[in-house]
Structure 1
Amino acid sequence: MSFIDFNEIVKEAWRAYDPTRTIITITDISAKVSTNHVYRVTFKDGNIIIAKLSYFGKYEHFVEDHSIINSLSNNLPDPFENFLARSLIKENSLFVHRHTDDVIDAWVVFYRPIKIKRKLPKRLNEDQIQKLAKEFARFHKACHTIRNTLPPSSKTLKVDVEHLLEIMRTDSGQHEFRMHHEQIEKHCNLFLENVDKLDANNLDTIPVFVDWNIGNFSVNPQFKLFSRWDYDWFRMSSRMIDFYFFARISSDVGDRTVFSYDVDPLMEDRFIVFLKAYHKEYPLTETEIRFLKEAYRFFILNYVVKYGKYFFHEIFATKLQQEAYERYLPLLDKKFDPEPLLNALHL
């Protein structure tokens, strides 16, 4: 990509929002593994806001997602009413600035800064796993309570998987996936078939954030959820889409700088500890547990295979995609067994 002055795009967006307030500095605070752009904007009066800039996907989906998130942040009940960072509003609607030129079509949304308490330790003990499981259960329950008050979403798991199949039929897709076309197509079709067999399309749909990496949220000293600020993978879907990252948080391996997305955390005893605590607070169903395999398959197909080059810097994307073809997808049906999880929950 040609040189693009992203700071200038952020300044242009702010001028469209409120030209009377002068920007002093713009600091890039983006995650080091991601291609997304996040900035801390400091004004002459000392106040600060956060700017998020994106340029992949569709502008309409960007606006749709952030409209849902902003509504969610305002509608969540106690104790989560201040959990999510809120976007800036202009007049009566969410403010989104669209910048277009010969090189890029980019979109900017502004957030109010959110307070951060404690990041999770890199490895949790069993008591911490149980406390966090109950918190996630309560958060999901709150999201379920207000789900019908949110703007509509056009994205579904089925639509995203069918979109990947469409991409592979294009000339660019034939080139990009030429070595793995048959494998990807097989797993897309398996996903669609198994979702139908499970009747998973009828599972309740709630707001899910998918990427519960320990760098994306904070907790208080009692392990209550305190704040969340990263929304890159947000969608409306089954709550089970969140559970692979819950398993990673619970994993005996703990958080690592060099990471992979193997299915193994879903089969750990420590994840069963998490599930039992979550289930006690907000019961799961047999269909949801059986759907976990397809939720993981979707995660690999959509966020690693299809969009990996957008969500991760090239070195990470290449590594994760190669592992997807060599391990994640071919070993999934051998490694994932829902029976130990169902037995632990007496389902």
Structure 2
Amino acid sequence: MRILIAPDKFAGTLSALEAAQAVADGWHRTDPSARTELLPLSDGGPGFVEVLHTALGGEVHRAEVTGPLGAPVTAEYLLDGDTAYVESAQACGLHLVPAEDRDPGRTTTHGVGELVAHAVRAGARTVVVGLGGSSTNDAGAGLLAALGATPSDHLGHGGGTLAEHVDAVDLEAARQAVAGVRLVAATDVDNPLLGIHGASAVFGPQKGADPDQVQRLDAALAAFADRVDPDKGTRDVPGAGAAGGLGFALLLLGGTVESGISRVLDSVRLAERLDGADLVITGEGSFDSQSLRGKLPHGVAQVASGHGVPCIVTAGAVKVGRAEAAEAGITETYSLVESSGSVEAAMNRSAEELRALAADIARRWSR
């Protein structure tokens, strides 16, 4: 039996590679003769550069950039020919901010702009920015400041400053910094910048915002958008709200939004690797309604379904019914919380519990 194991990260517990290895190890406990092929994946968030480097080769560059709270961090991007792949989470990721310091009114995307500038200086003519896992809610103002937009002193200091301190914004220098460069926002989030489906309302609470702060952040982003997008042609583009509005900033600079999942799945040649597979196993930390709006397991399931290969999802928690999952091309779902008996066990012993779950799945599926 040949099994392709293609998960995303289990956020907060396992990288995509660690999750794939745990599934393979568990499966072999039950079925040592199975051929397991590991294919860790990313949808544009953490792991984006690592996954694409494995698939494409190219050269990984490192740069010291401004982290989400202003302290320097070391981040990587991939240069493959004249195309650079930037993982925004390496410069502004939620994992870079201690839980007690999480405040999307303070965090900045300045380091992402520094990475983009670094890639352009290295010769990139296309820069693909993977969006996901951010701690920010600044509408990409930090990125714009890093590329030369003014007034940079306030643009670069978090989303909470945008309404009170930014009266006018000049984007000309930022646009010149990326002139002739194709910018791509790689995301499968289709949220606009503002409103009940926007960056602040949907993602702010995940980054530490309480309901009152969500309202203040949305108002700050609206005030900023009025200054830089007076014709309102960009703020409502699907994906503008990705990564706390980082998608909005890339669009202001002439960028486009593309599916992060599609780009990754094409790069790793998932369709080809499914040839001859008996089963594909994917997964992520929480498989919920957002997952069915185009997150990685959904993308894997769609490709697998087109090749007639059953697709299983393993997740820390499963919050999607069987009928919804089946409609998305998913054959079965399995939850670590249910198999281990508690959220605590699923979080604290993720690898061990995932191995045990995979061994149990193998007993049901091996032939």
TM-score norm. by structure 1 comes to 0.31
